[in-house]
Amino acid sequence: MSSIGTTDRQPAAGGPDAPRAEIGIGMIGYAFMGMAHSQGWRNARSFFDPVLQPRLTVLGGRDRAAAADMARRFDWREVETDWRALIAREDVGLVDICTPGDTHAEIAIAALEAGKHVLCEKPLANTVAEAEAMAEAAARARARGVRSMVGFTYRRVPAIALARRLVAEGRLGRLRHVRAQYLQDWLADPAVPMSWRLDKEQAGSGALGDIGAHIVDLTQYLTGEPLTGVSALTDTFVGERPLPDGTGTGTVTVDDAAVFLGRFGSGALATYEATRYASGRKNAIRIELNGSDGSLAFDFEDMNVLHYYDGRAETSEPATRGFTRILVTEPDHPYLAPWWPPGHLLGYEHGFAHQAADLLTAIAEGTDPAPSFADGLHIQRVLDAVLSSAAHGSAWTEVPAPVPAADPAGEPHRNDTSRRQQQHQQEQRKEEVAS
Amino acid sequence: MSSIGTTDRQPAAGGPDAPRAEIGIGMIGYAFMGMAHSQGWRNARSFFDPVLQPRLTVLGGRDRAAAADMARRFDWREVETDWRALIAREDVGLVDICTPGDTHAEIAIAALEAGKHVLCEKPLANTVAEAEAMAEAAARARARGVRSMVGFTYRRVPAIALARRLVAEGRLGRLRHVRAQYLQDWLADPAVPMSWRLDKEQAGSGALGDIGAHIVDLTQYLTGEPLTGVSALTDTFVGERPLPDGTGTGTVTVDDAAVFLGRFGSGALATYEATRYASGRKNAIRIELNGSDGSLAFDFEDMNVLHYYDGRAETSEPATRGFTRILVTEPDHPYLAPWWPPGHLLGYEHGFAHQAADLLTAIAEGTDPAPSFADGLHIQRVLDAVLSSAAHGSAWTEVPAPVPAADPAGEPHRNDTSRRQQQHQQEQRKEEVAS
Amino acid sequence: MSSIGTTDRQPAAGGPDAPRAEIGIGMIGYAFMGMAHSQGWRNARSFFDPVLQPRLTVLGGRDRAAAADMARRFDWREVETDWRALIAREDVGLVDICTPGDTHAEIAIAALEAGKHVLCEKPLANTVAEAEAMAEAAARARARGVRSMVGFTYRRVPAIALARRLVAEGRLGRLRHVRAQYLQDWLADPAVPMSWRLDKEQAGSGALGDIGAHIVDLTQYLTGEPLTGVSALTDTFVGERPLPDGTGTGTVTVDDAAVFLGRFGSGALATYEATRYASGRKNAIRIELNGSDGSLAFDFEDMNVLHYYDGRAETSEPATRGFTRILVTEPDHPYLAPWWPPGHLLGYEHGFAHQAADLLTAIAEGTDPAPSFADGLHIQRVLDAVLSSAAHGSAWTEVPAPVPAADPAGEPHRNDTSRRQQQHQQEQRKEEVAS
Amino acid sequence: MSSIGTTDRQPAAGGPDAPRAEIGIGMIGYAFMGMAHSQGWRNARSFFDPVLQPRLTVLGGRDRAAAADMARRFDWREVETDWRALIAREDVGLVDICTPGDTHAEIAIAALEAGKHVLCEKPLANTVAEAEAMAEAAARARARGVRSMVGFTYRRVPAIALARRLVAEGRLGRLRHVRAQYLQDWLADPAVPMSWRLDKEQAGSGALGDIGAHIVDLTQYLTGEPLTGVSALTDTFVGERPLPDGTGTGTVTVDDAAVFLGRFGSGALATYEATRYASGRKNAIRIELNGSDGSLAFDFEDMNVLHYYDGRAETSEPATRGFTRILVTEPDHPYLAPWWPPGHLLGYEHGFAHQAADLLTAIAEGTDPAPSFADGLHIQRVLDAVLSSAAHGSAWTEVPAPVPAADPAGEPHRNDTSRRQQQHQQEQRKEEVAS
């Protein structure tokens, strides 16, 4: 961790006069995810004011001109076209991997071995074997104080974090049902051209790995339980698509959609659906949990809202029961304190600021950020079981139990920056509003 | 059909001065379904004014006092405690079976053999064998002009009928996804006592047959396609429940919940979920269809509404696309013409009036009402495949193809009373409003 | 009250074996409201099983053929073409007035003077003077034990009745805001032809009296407070419309829309809007109340739902506050016990059954039904003040304080049949379901 | 405009290699609005990549330490405690005023006279007289090429901008109704302490100027018409509130709530409501427009969504009409192209980026940004008329006609950066996604 800046290495208590350390970020990839992570780093700094401050040191990309343009717009200080050179830099303390999945393993393992903290976009890898190697590298690095995290950013949507808090408090009672859908529609039209995301070599899998991975992670995170087995059906609806250059057609080698059943450790039944063919659904991550005492429902297309049904006799009365539409924008909601007043919504990109802030806090405090590479490996195993079941007549396929976390499941938000900073931020905001 | 009344046997053209025939109804069962069917018969008469008018001739029930009280309240002329006597009556032309599923086969077959038209509540039977016998009896009776119908009433919710019309018009393009849930919560509390619905002997199955049967029927009706196979998971979450009389506990011998995957004839993927443990969901029949050109979504808890996404370039423009919330209360919506002005909602019970009106129209016109006993048999086979798959490690289980209908799938609403009477009713209403 | 039937005049305690009295209903008018009231009477009998049972004795209408057809369909025993003859009949104990507003006063006063209980459709009258005469006649009749009620049926929508209960329990704290809209769109198209509803002679006023009257009543009912003054703006957007027979155009002499501000006795501010030009809104009665401790929101286009915000520190916690979407279909919700299981929606017409049941209960118990003719008079005065303000540059116009009710405001649901019968009905239903 | 940077003064065509000018921003105020504007400037640069690039030159604030902390977090290069010194700086080309309303006039006029472009937070001023002086100063400055704009940022919410586009295209036909509410609840509790916002000296007015001003602006913007008169009612519900320091109570000298009626130039009727006492409504800006051919509805608490009812016979059919829920996140929606993929929501702060980008574009292109100071003056006159009407028994009070804009009303989005850059941004994004 030689690259943590020179001003002060002690985790500070926060507040405007606190001493702050800096850590140099080296980010690889400058497309969609690169933009989102750039916003994440700078917004984490401006709004969460972490004790370990991120410095946008270097942006890596093979196309120097494109990377330089992105660097100019987002204030990255330098550009590297060779990711190995980026990792080797003394002024880089954290490597942020925003490249396609087939490159994750090589880069992440190299970075960890070089002693750099790593944030790796999801899915962790394209295969279980790669993910295993990465998880092992992460475990070795951890022994040397090097941290790693996989970017299942949707965990940091405030409504999701609130849902996790409510589940962890036991509000739902005994969990009975989980239903999760990730619905997009950008492939519904068969005329949409071929792309790398439809090629198994580069993308690993289709809707399953790209978006199904998110709902696997979210449901395990929300319930605090692992999936123990699945039964699945997948399909490729449109097998040939026009090449972008108009020279003919290419063969789609990944799944267009995956539907599967699952069972959680506690016995709850689950249904999953991941597709890019749900006309009219743009980015609908819909999750509902039903327990003996209550229920929760969420849809990312209305991401500032959590629906909560309280069925407990002690805290609700029959005549006024129903799903409460919680607008998750209050200062005591997760991550909200440093942002805007109630009713002023957050958007997609804010999850990346929360992710960055939590990771910086974990590094500063010497704790394990979540989700870990081990978590990413378990998700990869679930995806693998789904494909295997689909290939074997939907036969029930068990998922190996995850390695018990150094950071056990039952403690959500251990690295939740928002909680720790809440008191201080709220006071700060009050003063500002009054000024 | 000797019991069709004496005034006029010719199907009449409708209108206040048209000659009308009468048919005597003999209904067996006077509980929840008995009340709903009673409303159905009399509302069909009052609002749809069918050419074949129902006469509430006799109500059958084992407990004479209870049946008599119900008869008094709903104007049934007489009461019978012996269903065989009821069937034998000369003045009964149609037998309406509202008893638990284990009695359906015996009563229905006897009635058909006695030459009575039959309306049988769903599920058709508790076993495939019974359902086969019933379908055969129905086919034999049909050759003699005797009609039969199974009471999957939700087909007659106007929003569902409108959805079917839109699908049949090809609005969705190529069908890709079906997702269907029937969610209730009245068993979420483990203290809820044992009842006949939780006993396999009487109920056949649990959530699967009681409510899962409805979403199997609805999705096949809406798509116009049969399910070809399933993969399933079922569970009984609470195995012992207190007896109602407080003397101990009884063993639950049916499924508390069933989740399954399916595939339609066209290749579309489907997910299903039927449960009585979804806290906060009271009678949520939620169905969504996604096709290459559009989507439809429905929730029975908001039953007057259909959500329709039109993704066709010819009829919608990108900037204003979205799900349209259609309030299905306009006079040109299915079944709406004889009811109230736009925006004046219908409720649960109205489906029973639509069902009664359609059946009376079919009998009068000498056509086959839908859904037929053969349709009911096919649904029973789907339920059977679900239980079989669940018992065999969720293995993919094929469902035998349904017998091609005498009344082919592609023609929805052939018996849709509302369409035929629409013009006449609308004019009538206009006059009334103006009077 | 000579016409109350012969079997038993004592109010009975309910239950299948209880002795029951009968009262003969004479209804005048057989169009839209006539159908709604017919449903109300017979459904009140079948579902609420009141101790005083309604008998559909005679239907009055000038066009004998049309009235006879309606009578045939809804089982009215006889038809009268002369309303005076109908009132004079010995076998009529209650006169139900469903004719246009310009006939209300004459009929109602004659009926009351003849000793008949009266249910009069809203608005009570077309002018304040007529309404005053009616209220006086009602007061005189009341001294002789004759009851009267004006048909603001929307009070009996269960969600509205629940809202009133919550307000009366003090859930909202100090009331601050009332906003009410009644939005329809059937005149948005200027090609819609002229009708009696657009003629001041027959209709009294336009949107104001037809639909604005409802939101005036509902907000006063819900708050338990009278409006003390208003400031208004009205307009007739389309002054000439084609005659229905195509012979030319007619002049619209009523308001197309009315918007007004108001203040309640407690100081709360109110906004109102009544229009038939709100494209896409079919029958949107939207009401929101905001108090210091909570809020309520309702929309008739989703009439089975009440939205409730509980902001009280003792009963809600900040992190899970929000509007709770209460599906008002539980057995302990107002009027719901005799109907269907939870989640099985009611529709527009059910309010008429609740109204009929409440009126029958009041007559049987010798109490005053609400809303009274005095209530109807006060509403007429509010409408009058609105028109006066609009005619005088929106100047603030006070509304005379209503005469204190014999039946004081603070006691909602005194005549709420559903509460009294709830226990008994629930038990009855349980038995039936189990049978 | 001497301060526009040195690299290139020519408006550039955009694209990574285009030459770019820079303009130094001097922002005064560092509290809530200061944070929002800081985000606006830097996000405008990163995502819209304007030809005139903003440089965060200097942040002004009286409290140097607080300002310096804010400057550190948002990368403002320097801090000034004297706003006159800030205005005088050579390297400041644009002054951004984020201070309370009572300081706007003095600062803005001084800045305009110093030749600096000005962005001034709303409301333009606390009095009509100040606003007049500011509008005059703006007109004088304009003659010298100096631009000014008032910060009614909600115009730049994409759903609002789309609504304006649809209205301007004539989709609604003849406008009939406007209903607008701005509902908050932070004063509902009488224990909330006194603050400068409740003091007329500093705040000018209460809910009316703070939030009512927004719905006045939005409705005039959306309709393209001015309000011609109003009738109003205001109230201060809680007259005394505890002082923050606990030493006693302070007197609230502003309105707690304002409700008013209005009429638009075209004759449409309007209702308005601005309050901080609507329990459960956090930042609910709710606007609905009804025209003869269609309707639009919006709620800021669901700000990525616009509801559109198309009632035109040419483009919609009766059976599928309804409000379409448009998720305004498509690349061809206003301002969306440079942001995230469809279904990935924007939040409150994004409007500030759109505002900044539009202003930079206008300056670079030498056109007038909107809303102008003249627009701000007209809004001030509406607010003045509201207070005057409320003080005179709600008497109808006319609003002087606005000065015809140099930039006429009928041309929305003349300065809409998003449209101009759309093609180029979309292509850029496509490449990035593919990379």
> How would you classify the pairing of strands B175-183 and B94-97?
unpaired
Residues of D within 8 A of A42 (CB-CB) are: 42
Q: Name the nearest CA neighbour of D53 among D87, D80, D14.
A: D14
Return the number of other C-beta atoms located less than 10 Å from residue C266's C-beta: 13
Q: Which tokens in the block code for residue A398?
A: 């068990």
Q: Between vectors from CA A397 to CA A396 and to CA A400, what angle results, nearest 5°?
A: 145
B321: nearest CA partner in chain D: D326
Match 């909107």 to its residue by tokens.
D370
B296-305, C425-434, D22-31, D323-332: lowest mean pLDDT where?
A: C425-434
Q: Is A191 on the interface with D (CB under 8 A)?
A: no
Question: In the predicted model, what is the mean pLDDT of chain B?
Answer: 90
**Residue C386 backbone dihedrals phi, psi, to 5 degrees:** -60, -45
pLDDT at position D20: 78
Return the number of other C-beta atoms located less than 10 Å from residue B404's C-beta: 9
Question: D52 forms bridges with which residues in the sheet?
Answer: D21
CA-CA-CA-CA torsion sign (D57, D60, D65, D69) = negative
- The shortest CB-CB distance from A73 to any of D45, D302, D303 is to D45
SS3 content of chain D, % helix, strand, coil (to 5): 35, 25, 40
Q: Which tokens in the block code for residue A252?
A: 């789609």
Match 């916003």 to its residue by tokens.
A39
- pLDDT per residue over A96-134, tens digit each? 999 999 999 999 999 999 999 999 999 999 999 999 999
| CA of B165 vs chain A CAs: smallest distance (Å) | 19
**Is residue B427 pLDDT above 80, yes or no?**
no
Q: Is C320 on the interface with A (CB under 8 A)?
A: yes
- The shortest CB-CB distance from D330 to any of B319, B324, B327 is to B319
* Residues whose CB is less than 8 angstroms from the CB of residue B115 and which lie 6 or more positions away in sequence, other chains included: B1, B2, B141, B144, B146
Match 């050109």 to its residue by tokens.
B293
Report which DSSP code applies to A411.
-
Q: Is B333 helix (H, G, I), strand (E, B) or coil?
A: coil
| CA of C404 vs chain B CAs: smallest distance (Å) | 34
CA distance B374 to B404: 9
CB–CB of A174/A292 below 8 Å? yes
Q: Which tokens in the block code for residue B21?
A: 């025939």
Q: H/E element holding C74?
A: helix C64-74
Alpha helices in D75-125 (DSSP H): 83-88, 104-113
- One-letter amino acid of C354: H
Q: What is the crossing angle of helices A350-365 and A417-434, to 10°?
A: 120
- pLDDT per residue over D154-164, tens digit each? 999 999 999 99
CA distance C71 to C141: 29
Please name the chains neighbouring B, where neighbouring means 3+ C-beta pairs under 8 angstroms.
A, C, D
CA atoms within 13 A on the CB side of A118: 31
Q: Is A348 on the interface with B (CB under 8 A)?
A: no
Q: Delineate the domains of chain B, giving CATH numbers in brackets.
A: 21-153 (3.40.50.720), 158-302+304-346+372-398 (3.30.360.10)
Match 């039952």 to its residue by tokens.
A410
pLDDT at position C425: 47
Question: In the predicted model, what is the mean pLDDT of chain D?
Answer: 90
B-C contacts at Cβ under 8 angstroms? 131
Residues of C within 8 A of A322 (CB-CB) are: 308, 324-327
- The shortest CB-CB distance from D345 to any of A31, A195, A348 is to A348
CB–CB of A108/A148 below 8 Å? yes
* Residues whose CB is less than 8 angstroms from the CB of residue A351 and which lie 6 or more positions away in sequence, other chains included: A40, A153, A154, A155, A156, A157
**pLDDT band at residue D430 under the 50/70/90 scheme:** very low
Contact residues, C window 124-153, toward D, CB-based 8 Å cutoff: none
Calculated CA dihedral for residues D116, D121, D122, D124, nearest 10 degrees:
-30
A-D contacts at Cβ under 8 angstroms? 126
% pLDDT > 90, chain D: 85
Q: Name the nearest CA neighbour of C403 among C429, C368, C375.
A: C375
Residues of D within 8 A of C212 (CB-CB) are: none
pLDDT at position D202: 86
pLDDT at position B202: 86
Residues of D within 8 A of A65 (CB-CB) are: 16
Report which DSSP code applies to C236.
-
Please count the residues of chain D: 435
Mean pLDDT within D362-369: 96
* Residues whose CB is less than 8 angstroms from the CB of residue C94 and which lie 6 or more positions away in sequence, other chains included: C23, C24, C25, C26, C54, C116, C117, C118, C119, C359, C363
Q: Which of C162, C307, C324, C329 to mutate to test the interface with A (most CBs of A within 10 A)?
A: C324
Contact residues, D window 362-381, toward C, CB-based 8 Å cutoff: none
Q: Is C321 on the interface with A (CB under 8 A)?
A: yes
Please name the chains neighbouring C, where neighbouring means 3+ C-beta pairs under 8 angstroms.
A, B, D
Residues of A within 8 A of B267 (CB-CB) are: 235, 237
CA distance C202 to C187: 18
Q: Is B64 on the interface with C (CB under 8 A)?
A: no
Taking 50 as the pLDDT cut, the residues of chain C under it are: 1-14, 407-415, 419-435
Residues of B within 8 A of C301 (CB-CB) are: 327, 343, 345
CB–CB of A233/A257 below 8 Å? no
* Residues whose CB is less than 8 angstroms from the CB of residue B301 and which lie 6 or more positions away in sequence, other chains included: B281, B282, B283, B284, C327, C343, C345
User: E strands, C132-217, where?
Assistant: 148-151, 175-183
CA distance D199 to C180: 31
Return the number of other C-beta atoms located less than 10 Å from residue A228's C-beta: 17
**Is residue A4 pLDDT above 70, yes or no?**
no
Beta-carbon separation of B177 and A261 below 8 A: no
> How would you classify the pairing of strands A52-60 and A78-80?
parallel
Residues of C within 8 A of B431 (CB-CB) are: 66
Q: Which tokens in the block code for residue D424?
A: 């180029």
* Residues whose CB is less than 8 angstroms from the CB of residue B328 and which lie 6 or more positions away in sequence, other chains included: B158, B159, B162, B304, B305, B306, B334, B336
**Residue D165 backbone dihedrals phi, psi, to 5 degrees:** -60, -45
| CA of B293 vs chain A CAs: smallest distance (Å) | 7
**Residue D303 backbone dihedrals phi, psi, to 5 degrees:** -70, -15
- One-letter amino acid of C318: P
Match 């009710």 to its residue by tokens.
C405
pLDDT at position D204: 87
Question: D62 forms bridges with which residues in the sheet?
Answer: none
Q: How many helices (H) and strands (E) does chain B have?
A: 12, 17
pLDDT at position D19: 67
pLDDT at position A202: 86
CA distance A34 to D178: 43
Q: Between vectors from CA D60 to CA D56 and to CA D62, what angle results, nearest 5°?
A: 160
| CA of A279 vs chain B CAs: smallest distance (Å) | 6
Residues of A within 8 A of B260 (CB-CB) are: 261
Residues of B within 8 A of C283 (CB-CB) are: 341-344
Residues of C within 8 A of B434 (CB-CB) are: 31, 195-196, 244
**Residue D233 backbone dihedrals phi, psi, to 5 degrees:** -140, 130
- pLDDT per residue over A43-91, tens digit each? 999 999 999 999 999 999 999 999 999 999 999 999 999 999 999 999 9
- The shortest CB-CB distance from D73 to any of A45, A429, A433 is to A45
Q: Record the pTM.
A: 0.93
User: ipTM of this model?
Assistant: 0.91
Q: Which tokens in the block code for residue B170?
A: 């090809």
Beta-carbon separation of C273 and D177 below 8 A: yes
Q: Which tokens in the block code for residue C94?
A: 């209650």
CB–CB of C293/C311 below 8 Å? yes
Please name the chains neighbouring D, where neighbouring means 3+ C-beta pairs under 8 angstroms.
A, B, C
- pLDDT per residue over B393-425, tens digit each? 999 999 999 976 554 433 434 445 554 444 444
Beta-carbon separation of D325 and B321 below 8 A: no
Q: Is B179 on the interface with A (CB under 8 A)?
A: yes
- One-letter amino acid of B310: D
CB–CB of B413/B257 below 8 Å? no
Exposed (0-12), middle (13-18) or buried (19+): which is C250, by Cβ within 10 Å?
middle
Mean pLDDT within A316-339: 97
- The shortest CB-CB distance from C319 to any of A323, A325, A333 is to A333
**Is residue B177 pLDDT above 80, yes or no?**
yes
Match 């990792």 to its residue by tokens.
A87
Contact residues, B window 235-294, toward A, CB-based 8 Å cutoff: 235, 237, 257, 259-261, 263, 267, 269-271, 273, 275, 277-281, 288, 290-294
- pLDDT per residue over C382-427, tens digit each? 999 999 999 999 999 999 999 765 544 334 444 455 544 444 444 4
